[in-house]
Structures are given as structure tokens and as C-alpha cells.
Amino acid sequence: MVWDAWGIASAHAPLSDRIRTLVAQVFGVSGEPVARRDEGDVPLRESGLTAAHRAGLSAVVGADQVSADHRDRLLHAGGKSTPDLLRRRAEAPQDAPDAVVFPADHDQVLAVLTYCAEQSIAVVPFGGGTSVVGGVDPARGRFDTVIALDLRRLDGLSDVDPVSGTATLGAGSTGPQAEKLLAAHGLSLGHFPQSFEYASIGGFAATRSSGQASAGYGRFDDMIMRLKVATPTGTVDLGRAPASAAGPDLRELFAGSEGTLGVITEVTLRVHPIPETTAYQAWSFPDFATGAAALRTVVQNGAAPTVLRLSDEAETGLNLARSGDIGGAPVSGCLAVTTFEGTRAHVAARSAEASALLAAAGGTALGEQPARDWEHGRFGAPYLRDALLDIGVLCETLETATNWSNVERLKAAVTTALTESLGAQGTPALVMCHISHTYPTGASLYFTVVAKQSDDPSAQWAQAKRAVGDAIAGHGGTITHHHAVGTDHRPWMTAEIGDLGARILRAVKDAVDPAGILNPGKLIP
């Protein structure tokens, strides 16, 4: 990905005239994009990598796999949250890791960690670099030196068991790489988060990612059968059976560990045959509460959709779920999207069952096209954010989850926190929301917030983020449903797991990483 925005340069595009005019009018910005710097012109904090450390790391991975080049360092300078991008566009010099190290395999990762523990070098494991919570910030903590440990060379499919429906992938494989490798065996993972195109298998595991087809295929943590992890004190290889009663499930310590407890190098995943067919059906509900109750009925009934989502009135009104129509003629009500994948017989039966439930719950069928439109544009929203940032508009997303009975209350609390905080700063906000992940007992809530940038947009957002984090913690939500903790959600971790929970995490950290070199400042309170 490019250093100061999402994705690849060729996919970047300025806003359409329609959107730019609308945004300029609503938020009072000029609509003229600011110039962005060329990556070669960006001043970087000087690399503190010593010759001895370069030699020591080179002895493990080879001299050509240790880089302190400007470009490599800049491309590992952090993730892709709005604060990340604001900082990258504003600050000089940029902070960056002292070096980027590219190990080839598990044993090299283990050796790098051993070396760094001995030499007091902080290590930031780096997959696709798509974190939106500061998870890959080049934070050095109490160490003089920090390296980014880029896992891209740990890619590939090392084993397929078609009878058991499992596949073993290297942690560095990206989403598209994994799907392509599996497709050669007629298989699919079915994990399609918005970061799909760039994020890695190891990153999905380390952050408890959840994809847009989670209703059908589960969260990424549900798919993990086995994890191989390198730590400064050795290797753990966890997961011997589809299910076990052999004590605590230690896989669940490393899933979501965000590089603070070890480096996930290999993951065995549950996979499924490439579906025979996919059915699309969009719906309109008169209001969010009616739509949410309808989604709940479908998931609690077991009608088994693959994708099940609902946009609220604000998001529907702006057509945010239909990339080609954003800012077009306003749409009333709440748009819901369903897809069903599988055998023709299952798809026919399950979509018919869900349709009957959704219609009975107050939905109006809109046909296939809006659902196909959503799917077509589903990885594109981060590009839109970049274009908005370019014209002086603040745009960020955040997410939580709660029980069905608490969905309305939590949604209202989050919306109020955002509108009040940003409004009080003189930058009235537009807040939109959708449900994109459903469970029998509850759902996720994903918010998009847009406002005019203040003179100090980083401080502006930090204030809003504090307000909304407190609102989530105070109204029964989890501080993150699928974005993970990183640095940005760390202030709420003690509220999430309690003082003793935090002590337990620190005890595990001390056991596996006594020197504390792994991803300092992330996750663990």
C-alpha cells in the first residue's frame, strides 16, 4: 500500500463533482484537495540501527532481508487509521522503525526474536499493515531500537486436508493470495473483511478479524483450528483436535494477541468448498429498530444467510452502502443486504426462508441489484475516506457489539457521544451506522462519522474518540468487535476485562516475553 493513504495509487480517485459539491455545502469546506507529498520528500526520523545490530539481524535472515532504506521504513511507519493518515500528512519528521526485517520462515522469526530479546530491540510484527487502531505503530517503548518484522515471506499453502476441510497457510499470505491458493483445490476460506485485499492471515488471527460473510462462515477466530506461534521463549503449536476439553484453550490467548505475546507464523483453518451459487436480495425497512428486529429473527431462526447487514436511516439516505450512488437522490428507510452461498438447494431453501421472515418482519424486497451494488463496492470505502481527508473533511469509522436487547441503547449512546463531542468543537458531525455482523445473541454496530476538520484534526478526533470510547464502555458494548485494540483502544481494556484480567494478560506476557520486546505499548493495559 502507499505510505499516506489506503491501498494502491492506481485505485485512488478524486471525489465526483456530485459528492464534492455536497460535502463542501454540508460541512463548509472548500472542496479543493490539498497537495500530498511524494514519499521521497518525506523527512523521516533517522534510523538508529547500529552496525552491530544490522550484522546480527543479517546473520539470521541474510543481509538483503534487513533494510533501513527510506522507502521500506516509511511503508512500515504505521497503520491506516484516520489519526495515522492525518499524522502522516502533517508531521515532519515521520517516526518509523529503525529497520525492516523480512524473515523467511518460522525458525528465522524465532531466531530474530531471540536475538532482539538479548539485544533489547523492540519488535513490531507487521502483516498487511492495515491496522486502524495503531496496532503496528513503530513504538519503541523503553528500547532504543525498534524493528518492523515484516512477515510477507511466510506465505503459501503448506497443507490441505480436503477430507477434514482444513488448510494450513503461512501467516504472511494476504487474503487474495489465500483465496487463490485454496481455489486451486476447489476450496475457499470465505473471510472478506474490508481489509481483505491487503491484510494477512497472521494479522486476521492476531486481531480477531471478522469478515463481511461472518454470518455464513464465522469470525476468523472461529475458523482457527491450529496456531503456530514464535515467542522470545520458544514455540507454541496449539490445536490438536476439532474440539478438546484439555484445559484452557490457549489458542484463544494468541488469537487477538496483536503481536504482544508472540508472532503467529502459521495457521490451520477450517475451509469449505467454493459455493455452487450465490443469491442476492436487498430489503428496505421503515426504520432501524424494525430492521434490526428482522435481522435478529433471521439469525435466531437459523435461516443461515452468508451476508446479513442493515444500514441505518443516515447511511441509507446517503447511499453509503451503494458506492456508485453515494450522494445521489436521497433514499428513505433502512437498506438491508442479504446474500446466500452454498449448494443450489440450500441457497434456494434458505433464501426463501429468510425472505419470508424479513417480509413478515416489515421488510420490502428491493430485488438483487442493491445487494450486488453493495458487494461490488465493498472494499472501496477507505479510498473515499482518503479523498475526504484530502479536502479538509474528517472521516473515521469505529465499531462495537452488544446483545440484541441493548442494540438501540448503545447506538443512541455512541451517536450522542460523537455528535456532542464534535458539535462542541464547532464541527457538527454526521454519524451513520450499520449492523454488519450478527449472532444469535447480538450484533455489531459499525459507525462512520464525518465532520469538517478543525485546525488540529488529530486533537479534534482524539477528543471525540475519548467520548465515544467512554460511551461504549458505559453502555454495555465491547470496545471493539473486529478492529482490535492496538494503542487506540488500550485506555478501555481494563474496563473491558477488569483489573484482574489485565493482571492475567501481563502475567502471560511476562512468561512468553520476559524482556518485553514484543509490540510495546499495544493492547495490554
Compute the least distance from the CB of residue 163 to a second copy, in Å: 4
Contact 294, 320 (CB under 8 A): no
- With the CA atoms of 414, 415, 420 and 423 taken in that order, what torsion angle do they form, in degrees rounded to the nearest 10? 130
Compute the least distance from the CB of residue 299 to a second copy, in Å: 10
Compute the least distance from the CB of residue 495 to a second copy, in Å: 9
Of residues 208-227, which lie at the interface with a second copy (CB under 8 A)?
A: 208-210, 219, 221, 225
Nine-digit cell at 287?
426504520
Among positions 9, 51, 52, 163, the unique one binding a second copy when judged by CB under 8 A: 163
Could you give the C-alpha distances from 21 to 25, 29, 32, 330, in angstroms and in order?
A: 6, 10, 10, 15
Helical (H) or strand (E) element with 366: strand 364-367
Total residues binding a second copy (CB under 8 A): 95
Among positions 11, 22, 68, 238, the unique one binding a second copy when judged by CB under 8 A: 238
Among positions 243, 329, 330, 455, the unique one binding a second copy when judged by CB under 8 A: 243
Up-side HSE of residue 411: CA atoms within 13 Å toward CB? 25
Among positions 234, 324, 367, 426, the unique one binding a second copy when judged by CB under 8 A: 234
Q: Is 398 in the site for a second copy (CB under 8 A)?
A: no
Write the interaction track for a second copy spanning residues 328-367; mark x where CB under 8 A is met and - where it is not. Answer: --------------xx-xx--x---x--------------
> 196 vs 383, which CB is nearer to a second copy?
196
Nine-digit cell at 400?
462495537
Among positions 1, 68, 289, 497, the unique one binding a second copy when judged by CB under 8 A: 497
Q: Is 191 in the site for a second copy (CB under 8 A)?
A: no
> 274 vs 349, which CB is nearer to a second copy?
349
Cα separation, 482 vs 505, whole angstroms = 19
Of residues 426-485, which lie at the interface with a second copy (CB under 8 A)?
A: 437, 439-444, 476-485
Could you give the C-alpha distances from 464 to 121, 277, 470, in angstroms and in order?
A: 34, 43, 10
Contact 480, 491 (CB under 8 A): no
Which among 81-89, 100-108, 380-388, 395-403 is the span making contact with a second copy, rule CB under 8 A?
395-403
Q: Is 165 in the site for a second copy (CB under 8 A)?
A: yes
Question: What are residue 328's phi and psi, to 5 degrees?
Answer: -75, -160
> 142 vs 503, which CB is nearer to a second copy?
503
- With the CA atoms of 429, 193, 139 and 227 taken in that order, what torsion angle do they form, in degrees rounded to the nearest 10? 150
Among positions 248, 329, 330, 455, the unique one binding a second copy when judged by CB under 8 A: 248
Compute the least distance from the CB of residue 492 to a second copy, in Å: 8
Question: What are residue 18's phi and psi, to 5 degrees?
Answer: -60, -50
Q: Is 253 in the site for a second copy (CB under 8 A)?
A: yes
Up-side HSE of residue 68: CA atoms within 13 Å toward CB? 17
> 417 vs 484, which CB is nearer to a second copy?
484
Of residues 46-85, which lie at the interface with a second copy (CB under 8 A)?
A: none
Of residues 261-290, which lie at the interface with a second copy (CB under 8 A)?
A: 261, 270, 272
* The 3-state secondary structure of 190-213, one letter per residue: CCCCCCCCCCEHHHHHHHCCCCCC
